Structure formats: structure tokens, C-alpha cells
Structure 1
Amino acid sequence: MATGPDDLAHLVHDWSEESRAALREHFIPEAAWASPLDSDPGYWIDRTADPDRWRSAVYSDTTILTQVDDGGTALTEETATAGSTPSSSSTAPSLVAAFLRMLDPYPGDRVLEVGTGTGWTAALLSARLGVDGVVSVEVDDQVAKHAAVNLERAGFAPHLVVGDGADGWPERAPYDRVHVTCGVATVPYAWVAQTRPGGVLAVPWAPNHVSGHRLALTSTGNAAVGRIRGDTSFMMLRSQRLAYPPPADGRRESAARVDPRRIGRAGRGMEVALAGFLPGVLLNAGLDGADQVGVRDPGTRSYAIATGSDGGWEVVQIGPRSLWEELETAYLAWVEWGCPDRGRFGVTVDAAGQHVWLDRPDNRLAPLEVRADG
């Protein structure tokens, strides 16, 4: 059972000195919902009722949920498990450390942090760089107020800003490092524009939303380029949260040409390729056990679902896009490229947008033409 800062030190490795200077216990509320990273079931922690269990959660590899429904619903044991939407948390220490290692800030660096949350990572950065080197932007004013209290209790006073992190904070640019603590489907160019050439952006890139990829980008001046480093999962940047509008008109049925199971189980490489071939389109495998594969484009209210049956796979499509045919085309294009795995892909962000590439930055995946039905 974890009991204190020494238990955390091995989780954060080369950030252990900073974790002892910025004790995590100063950033965790008296009562919250704990979700261990090792996939054990989540549980409620209450410092008053069970201080040992609370402390064990704080100093273990556990994400701790601190807000639901953007603060519109009180966080309780019931709301944490009854369909409320998570909206703020203290991320598990090993994942925090993975992004800080990608960030690799040097003494004297100025860091822009997008998403203050509880304030713990702002404190870790301040412990290494000094408070003058850290600017942290938080969109939720109540979360920001709690973070300010937490930071003061821990003895840190970085520059805190309430605003949309997608805009960065140009008043203190340029930055040597940009540390992002929320998922983004599209990396805002504002972050690139505010980063010094040679500076690094550590981003939870989630083109399929929530479950995403660790992405390290390096600024080249007018662009930023980098490769995918592994898995991650973060709450989405609020301005990039998905809306799920009702389906459009135009239901039609067909048969799948490609076995949808091959698409649904193709792996993370296919997921990244999809972000390049069909930007903004989301893939959902195993919607109902292993017998459904779905794809949607919220922007055009188009949907397609393939359902298995004894006679094969039936496809139902709704909306102006022929999404299933587009998905099959994207899958076969990925096959033609040799079914590359995720590690071969990278991303470039410039003033024209976000571009997915294979093996080298000049080998970009061209978005497939969007076709209307009929």
C-alpha cells in the first residue's frame, strides 16, 4: 500500500525530486473518485472517513477524478459512476511523468501549460524551472480557483490564466515548451505560432477522441513536426469536445465489401491512417460485443453501422456521406501502404492545418475525396 512521497518517486523517475517538492497531497480534494491505472476497479476516497485509503490513492499510480459535468453536478460516489461526464482530474503520476519526459524542459525555459487542472503539473514544472518560467491556462474558472488555492498551499505561484487553452497565451510568448494536459483531435496552430523554433510541444493527440496517442512535436519556425510515441487517454479540450447531433435523413442499406472485423481489429496504425485519409471521421469497433463496427462524421450527421449476421455483414447508412464506402477505401489504402503500424506515422502542424505522414514528413497522406450518396 502506498503511504507517501517515496512511493511516488519510482513512478515519476527523473521527476522524483520535483514530486517531493510539490507533494501531490496538496492537490487532491478531501473526497474524490480514484481510478487506478492498473485497471483495478475505481473507488471512492474520503480523507475524513478513511485517511489511509485516501493517502494510498494519492501516492499510487491512480487518476483521481475531481469534477464532473463541468461542475454543474456535485461530485459524489453516485455521480462518479452514474453517467455523469468527467470534466477534470489529477492524472496518474506515471502518465504525467511520461509527458514531462517528452517535454524535457531545460533550466531557463518558459513553458506554456494548457489545462491547469488541480495545479499539480504546474507545481512540478515550477519546482524545476521556477514560477516565472510557467504559464498555465485553464478554461474553467472554478477549477482555476481551486488550483490557485492548491498551488499556494504547496508554496508555488506560477502565472495562472483563465481562458481557452486552444488560443494559448500570446502575451508571454515565445515559449520553449508547450505542455498539454487534455486530448486534442486537431493541434491548434496558435500553440505552434507561440513556440520558439526548436521548442517542443507534448500533446495527447486523440483524433478518434479520448483514447489517443502521445505526440511530441518540434517547432521548425512556421510549423511543428514529430512522431507518435505511444498510448494515452485524456479528457478532451473543451472547445474540441464532440457534439453528437441527431442523424440526418436518408437511410439506406447495403452489404459490406470488406469484412468489417478486419477494419475493426486492424490496430492503432489504421486508426492513425484514418485521421489522415478521413479527417474528423470516427471509428467505433465492437459497438455491440464484437458484432458491430460503426463510423460517423458528426459534422455532416452521417453514420454507418455494419452488423454481422449468418449471411454476412449488413450495412446501414444515414446522412449525405457514403461513410462505409469511404471507410473501406481508407482501409484498403492503408493495406496498399503495407499495413504500417503506428510507430511509422507522424504529424505536421502548420498554418494550413494538421497533416498525417508516413515515415517522413514529405510523405503525407492525402485526404480522400468526400463523396455524397447517390
Structure 2
Amino acid sequence: MTPPTAQAVDSGRDGLRRLLLDTGALEPAWVPAFDAVRRAGFLPDVMWPHDMGTGRSRTVDKAHDPDTWQRYADSDCPIVTQWDDGAHKGPEPGRSFSSSSSMPSLVFSMLADLDVGEGHHVLEIGTGTGWNAGLLAHRVGPAGSVVTVDVDRAVASAGREALWRAGLTARVLHRDGFLGFPERAPYDRVIATCGLRTIPFAWVEQTAPGGVILVPWGTYYGPEEATARLVVAEDGRSASGPFTQPVGFMRMRSQRLVRRQHAAYVPPGAMDRADVSVTTLRAADAAGFVMGLLVHDATHVADRERDGRRAVWLYGLSDTSWAVADFRDGRDEAKVYQSGPRRLWDEAEAAHQWWEAEGRPGFERFGLTVMEGGRTALWLDDPAGVL
């Protein structure tokens, strides 16, 4: 996602409509839903528009500044609607956002990937404000049905009220979306509006053969994600498909990364006992989504640059392996320290060499298959080309 431009914030609802049409995010089939289901009807009076360029949020109170509130409601801007899993109080931004209204351009581009039609039965994981469920309910019409679930009781309740005010029919449930909702299965479409690292096979089981599951998916290597568009096999025993676009979502709460403390990896004296080498691989500094596919069960953290130096750390998630590269301005090589059962920097270099040999493929050349037992296979270009 790119930060919204001033035009995207200041253009008003008609301008937003033109912007979404011009960029191709809003397909003609979704125009009636855009016109009928207004985002503003699903936003709280106090909200926090988020600037993705600076990473900062501002407080906007409808009671004190209705014009600015409406301007953001009709913008292509992500808006935080809850902080700290609901524990946050007061008007100022909290520590960590936990529910939001996504950028309309992202919402409609994902709905286009989902390919929802009239009469479809849809399961949504992550109710949020309820706007996405409202758009789906309008699209499927009276012959279809929408079930939306959220793990947060307050979020589910607010979404249910907003849908009721809008006169839209969707069943809103407070429950763990990882389990789906088998009582209404099978579904023609399943969409998640939270980031996942593990896709439950229950969603495949609850989707009809030929049905589509659209999931923001990534690895614990970093925050980068892409939507996986999975089609359920005719025998119902797997779902497979390519990644369609880069996205960034709040993690499903049960899949947030809980990493050991740094000292558990690097106790006092560990640097002196580590293996030492040099590297020219700066790609591991910001390798993102693809490196996460290739360096499994690991996460990386890049420290802030200080006095021309920057350390990039790799940590194992299944053991206490670690590695760090010390980059310095003006030097082509960086010193590497690594220790543990795995040599993580060596793995990163091998992954980068493979990526180079394959022509530097982007996310769009990769895909994902989910199989029985929760097994997952990643592939390049074709499901047969498993990594």
C-alpha cells in the first residue's frame, strides 16, 4: 500500500469514486455497492486516520470538527478505530492499533479478487467496522447471505449495529474466526481481513469445491504480506492459488508473533563465542516478503542507523539460533556473527542466491497450497514447482 495523496484525502466522496474507478480498484460491478453503502455510516465519532508514510495517526472527533471527520471518511485513507485490543481510553492515539477501516482502494481491489456474485454465500473473518460486510451483503442480494465473525466482542457489536442502521442483512458473530462457522457452510467465498501466518484447513472444509478463499498471508520473517487467492479443489482436500497483491493488515490476534527476549538468544559473552564471517548481502536488510518464503522459521529486525552504523539481526523461531550483520557507511562488506544450531545468515545468503538465479521473482510469481492437516506448500510459477 502507498500513502494516500492529498487529493485522495481532500477529493470528497465523488472524487473518491473517480479515483477508485480511474485506478481500477473499483470495478463496475461494485459501483452500486459503493454508491449505496457509505463508509461514513460505519465509522465511530472519534477515529484516528493513519498516515502510512509517517506511521502516525491523528485524532479526529466528529463532534468537534465534523468537516474534517467527513473529509477523512470519504478519503482513500486507512482509519484506526480501536487501539490496544480495546484497553485504550481517551482521545489520543494508543500504543498499538487493533481494529481499523482499510483504505477503500484496498477494500475494493480485494473484493474484485474475491469475485463475489449475486446469490453467493460468503464468510468474512474480521468484521471490523462492518463496512466490508455491508458491501458484500449489498452485492450478494437477498438470494445470498453473509456471515461475518470477529474475536473482539465490542468490535462485533459495533459492526452489527452499523449494519442494522444501514438496513443491511449480515449475520455478525463474536467468535474465533480461525474456526470459521461450519453451521452455515458450505460457502462460495471466504475472505479474511486480518493477516495470517497459518491458514486453517477448516476454511477449506467449509468452502464449496471451486469456491475462493482470499487471505492476507505472510511469514514471521517480517511484516510484509500478500493476498493469496486460493481455489478449493474438486475433491475438497486442498486449496491452491497465486498471490495477487501486496497488502498490510493487523495480525490475527492468535497469530501475533511472541519472540523470545534478545538475551535468550545472545546472553553475555555470546558474541565472543560466535562464528565470524563477512558478507556483502545487503538484501537481507530489507528483503521482505520473498525472503520470508525462503528462510523458514525465522524473523529479522533491522536496528535504526546510528552514527553511520546499522545492525541487522536474524532470530530463529524454533530454536535460539541467531545472526547479526554490522553494516557501516562507506564499506562494501559487513562483519557477520552467528551462532546456534542454524547458520541463519548463511541461509539468507543461499536464499538470495537462489532468488537471483531465478530472475529475481516478485510476489506475483509465487503461490500457496493448503492441504489436509494444516500442511502448506509454497511454489514458484506452478503448484508443481514447490520450493
Bin for the TM-score computed over the shorter chain: 0.7 to 0.9
> What's the CA shift for 1:2?
4.4
Deviations 1:248-293 (A, max 9, x none): 356243334542314335x55xx32542x33332234565377332
Q: What residue number does 1:179 align with?
A: 191
Q: 3-state SS of the aligned residue for 2:116?
A: coil
Q: 3-state SS of the aligned residue for 1:155?
A: coil
Find out whether 1:48 has 2:63 as its counterpart. yes
296-305 vs 44-53, which deviates more? 296-305
> What's the CA shift for 1:130?
3.2
Pairing 1:357-372 to 2, within 5 Å after superposition: 357-365=379-387
Sort the Cα spacing of 1:261 and 1:65 in 2 relative to 1 into closer, same or farther, 3 A: same
Sort the Cα spacing of 1:257 and 1:119 in 2 relative to 1 into closer, same or farther, 3 A: same
C-alpha distance in structure 1 between counterparts of 2:276 and 2:359, whole Å: 26
Mapped contact 1:5–1:20 kept (Cα < 8 A)? no
Find out whether 1:6 has 2:19 as its counterpart. no
C-alpha distance in structure 2 between counterparts of 1:188 and 1:331, whole Å: 30
Sort the Cα spacing of 1:6 and 1:297 in 2 relative to 1 into closer, same or farther, 3 A: same
C-alpha distance in structure 2 between counterparts of 1:322 and 1:209, whole Å: 19
Q: What residue number does 1:154 align with?
A: 166
Mapped contact 1:87–1:235 kept (Cα < 8 A)? yes
C-alpha distance in structure 2 between counterparts of 1:311 and 1:135, whole Å: 54
289-298 vs 181-190, which deviates more? 289-298
> What's the CA shift for 1:137?
0.9
C-alpha distance in structure 1 between counterparts of 2:55 and 2:278, whole Å: 40
Where structure 1 has 5 or more consecutive residues not aligned to the other structure, the ranges are: 366-374
> What's the CA shift for 1:20?
2.2
* Counterpart residue type for residue 280 of structure 2: D
Pairing 1:1-374 to 2, within 5 Å after superposition: 2=10, 5-10=13-18, 11=20, 13-14=26-27, 15-36=30-51, 42-74=57-89, 76-77=91-92, 79-80=93-94, 84-130=95-141, 133-207=145-219, 208-220=221-233, 221-247=236-262, 248-249=264-265, 251=270, 252-264=273-285, 267=287, 271-272=289-290, 274-275=292-293, 277-285=294-302, 287-288=304-305, 291-309=310-328, 312-317=333-338, 320-352=341-373, 353-365=375-387
* Counterpart residue type for residue 254 of structure 1: D
* Counterpart residue type for residue 217 of structure 1: L
321-330 vs 110-119, which deviates more? 321-330
Sequence identity percentage: 37
Where structure 2 has 5 or more consecutive residues not aligned to the other structure, the ranges are: 1-8
Sort the Cα spacing of 1:153 and 1:170 in 2 relative to 1 into closer, same or farther, 3 A: same
C-alpha distance in structure 1 between counterparts of 2:168 and 2:340, whole Å: 52
Sort the Cα spacing of 1:298 and 1:258 in 2 relative to 1 into closer, same or farther, 3 A: same
C-alpha distance in structure 2 between counterparts of 1:2 and 1:356, whole Å: 41
129-138 vs 25-34, which deviates more? 129-138
Sort the Cα spacing of 1:170 and 1:92 in 2 relative to 1 into closer, same or farther, 3 A: same
Mapped contact 1:264–1:286 kept (Cα < 8 A)? no
> What's the CA shift for 1:320?
4.5
Q: 3-state SS of the aligned residue for 2:26?
A: helix
C-alpha distance in structure 2 between counterparts of 1:257 and 1:340, whole Å: 26
Sort the Cα spacing of 1:40 and 1:293 in 2 relative to 1 into closer, same or farther, 3 A: closer
CA RMSD of aligned residues (A): 2.5
Mapped contact 2:325–2:337 kept (Cα < 8 A)? yes
* Counterpart residue type for residue 133 of structure 1: S
> What's the CA shift for 1:355?
1.2
Q: 3-state SS of the aligned residue for 1:118?
A: coil
Mapped contact 1:200–1:217 kept (Cα < 8 A)? yes
> What's the CA shift for 1:147?
0.9
